[in-house]
Structure 1
Amino acid sequence: MSFAESIMAAFYGITLGSWYIFAEAAPYLLLGFGIAGLLHVFVPDDKIMQYLGRSAGKLRSVINASLLGVPLPLCSCGVVPTALSLRKRGATKGATLSFLISTPQTGVDSIAITYALLDPIMTVFRPVATFATAVVAGTAENILNIPKDGRDAPSGKGTPLNVLAMSSATGSCGCSSCGCHENEDVDESGSLVRRIRSGVRYAYIELLGDIGSWLIVGVIVAGIISYLVPADLVGSYLGGGITSMLLALVVGIPLYICATASTPLAAVLILKGMSPGAAFVFLLAGPATNAATITMVLKFLGKRTTAVYLSSIALCAVVCGLILDQIYLRLGIDALSIAGSASEIMPDEVKNIFAVILIPLLLYGMYTKKKCAE
């Protein structure tokens, strides 16, 4: 194969990998934006401040956000717009981070498939460990990253979310008085249709325009990583022990895989001889992060918050993995007997349809944002 052919093959592989990741994320992204829109029109700002803001306290706001995120079936990409919406509306950085971690790691769908493919131990342990990880990260963020002015308001020089931070309260579109967006304050006494229209515009134009370019960059980076990492790497080198857990952590953090899709893979890896603890590290770290999410967290929440985000997930994943191995060991349960396999929950055709729907929304949101900024 010539150099030109190698380049073309790599380009094709990366493009295919990026599209696969985009298609995998598309249904959950659309759902995530939809939830953000519902929160925007149906959840008053004072409630956000009461339960997730500074008035709730550094610990209680984190616990509330962690509990809220555990049952929601959103992936690590789909949770971003919802989390950033909460942040814009007054949630503390710690609560935002807790929600950003607890939501993609597990959900009602992944809990069900965990019970089907693994066993009751993993089914109970997974949401408990997810909640603990989210609380640790959120508490660490609220304690370590205290703003210089003593306030925890959405901020960040040059950040699009900062420009739109109080749009729901001021009626602005995020670019002074440009008048790009027609939506004004959410009128809680207005008609249901009008409020839904406001939420749809907020979710699928404003928020989508905010993170669109960074989402594209992150998906491409994730596609490059997916192309470069051999398909059999995880199964070949994760035999058990702390080394396997660290390797599972390194592989899981940058790769995109949702909580539901990761469960059959973990079951197969356990069947091949991986310890349940090492498999759990992948189950926790894989859905919680990926290149796209890390890119957006870095841009919109800052370097220090990103450091807390990644270090908390890494530390808690390994500690929980070690604890889980000890639980199986003490109970005398053979992990090989619990693994199974399952087919994809959502057909590829459906994912591709959602991806095709998302593309024009993404482009229009980015165009509207650019036009608004001019």
Structure 2
Amino acid sequence: MSLISPVTGAFYGILAESWHIFAEAAPYLLLGFGIAGLLHVFVPDDKVMQYLGRSAGKFRSVLNASLLGVPLPLCSCGVVPAALSLRKRGATKGATLSFLISTPQTGVDSIAITYALLDPIMTIFRPVATFATAVVAGVTENILNSSKGGQDTGYQGAVPLTVLPMSSATPDTCGCSSCGVHEGEAENFVQKVRAGIKYAYIELLGEIGFWLIVGVVIAGIISYFVPASMVGSYLGGGIASMLLALVVGIPLYICATASTPLAAVLILKGMSPGAAFVFLLAGPATNAATITMVLKFLGKRTTVVYLASIALCAVVSGLVLDQIYSDLGIDALSIAGSASEVIPPEVKNVFAVLLLPLLIYGMYSRKGCIEK
């Protein structure tokens, strides 16, 4: 009985943590899949190739993807479907990697909360360092791909949906050609929306659903066995604290918005702003779920570039930020404030309950397609 109780307690604890992580990610996942669906049906392939593909060049495609990702309010799980959609449309691996890094680290919501809870220095520094990290990772990946003689032809996954072109509208029987064009455009718009929903919430969700569940469970295990109190106790300042913040932040799931209040509290407990920033950058940028999916769909080398770029840039940025505060004579301990979560827990659970059956149905549908 004494052996079963701890095991049972750990099981339910991990299950609770996994559900909490899933619920935290659910609203952003639904948003991310929705954006992926819109990108799939409304952004022409030639535009993707023009700005994010090989024709844009090793550097310009990365710059475009990094700039595109900075303002989008997607978490490190929600960005995956949107990034994979871009990859399947012809974006280079480097551009895909840049989008994966720049998008979850910042967003219009997290930038606002950073200003409210921290200060203007961190508010400006955060998106700048995010952009730099994304560019470093993307350019590195594209250069390595070229040096290895790789042909970046795009991710070969599910077959893209066929969407009727807007020009297929036909005149109405009323004899007014302009009326018929408007009706035809409206009809095709509805068809595109339906196609985007099917692609996002059935095909793409089913394609990455299994790996998403595996990653969430891994993140739940880590979250259960690594309490927040330990993070606050051992991150006092210096390079050692930054490295520890990096080790803790990379596998844990925490979005850019939710990580900001935690960083503010840790700074009040004595953490240096640089160490807090390492957590702010590494935590939202990746987690066990994202790492699992990047490894599966982009490959081992890209995953190494992904993690190494985040780790290196996070530590360098932390050291630079501490130096900035030191040169300006600003005491980070004077920062005070707290903020409630943007989305109430009850609403997150509702989104999770909505997402779970879609996830199961998508996985079941994909399994049926594979068996056929």
If the length of structure 2 is used for normalisation, what is the TM-score?
Answer: 0.93
3-state SS of 1:145 partner: helix
Q: Report if the CA contact (8 A) 1:42-1:188 is conserved.
A: no
- Which residue is equivalent to 2:165? 187
- Give aligned-pair identity as a percent: 80
3-state SS of 1:163 partner: coil
- Which residue is equivalent to 2:15? 15
List structure 1 runs of 4+ shifted beyond 2 angstroms.
145-150, 183-190
Q: Decide which of 282, 290, 293 is 2:290's aligned counterpart.
A: 293
**Residue deviations 1:36-67, cap 9 Å, x none?**
01101111000000000000000000000000
- Which residue is equivalent to 2:202? 205
- Which residue is equivalent to 1:235? 232
- How far 1:344 moved relative to its partner? 1.1
Counterpart-to-counterpart distance in 2, 1:283 and 1:148: 33
Counterpart-to-counterpart distance in 1, 2:92 and 2:233: 42
Q: Decide which of 259, 273, 287 is 2:270's aligned counterpart.
A: 273
Counting only pairs closer than 5 Å after superposition, residues 337-356 of structure 1 correspond to structure 2 as: 337-356=334-353
1:214 aligns with 2:211: yes
- Which residue is equivalent to 2:122? 122
**Residue deviations 1:190-214, cap 9 Å, x none?**
5211110000001001100100000
- How far 1:231 moved relative to its partner? 2.5
Counterpart-to-counterpart distance in 2, 1:217 and 1:147: 33
3-state SS of 1:103 partner: helix
- Which residue is equivalent to 1:146? 146
1:131 aligns with 2:131: yes
**Residue deviations 1:113-171, cap 9 Å, x none?**
0000000000000000000000000000001133866421124xxxxxx232xx22xxx
- Which residue is equivalent to 1:251? 248
Q: Report if the CA contact (8 A) 1:187-1:195 is conserved.
A: no
1:325 aligns with 2:322: yes
Consecutive unaligned residues in structure 2, runs of 5 or more? 168-184
Q: Decide which of 134, 159, 163 is 2:157's aligned counterpart.
A: 163
- Which residue is equivalent to 1:53? 53
TM-aligned CA distance change 1:298 to 1:186, over 3 Å: farther
**Residue deviations 1:89-131, cap 9 Å, x none?**
0000000000000000000000000000000000000000000
The structure with the largest alpha-carbon Rg is: 2
TM-aligned CA distance change 1:223 to 1:150, over 3 Å: closer
1:93 aligns with 2:93: yes
3-state SS of 2:343 partner: coil
- Which residue is equivalent to 1:314? 311
TM-aligned CA distance change 1:147 to 1:20, over 3 Å: farther
- Which residue is equivalent to 1:226? 223
- How far 1:340 moved relative to its partner? 1.9
Q: Report if the CA contact (8 A) 1:92-1:152 is conserved.
A: yes
Alignment-mate amino acid for residue 365 of structure 1: G
3-state SS of 1:267 partner: helix
- How far 1:294 moved relative to its partner? 0.2
1:302 aligns with 2:304: no
Q: Report if the CA contact (8 A) 1:277-1:321 is conserved.
A: yes
RMSD value, Cα: 1.2
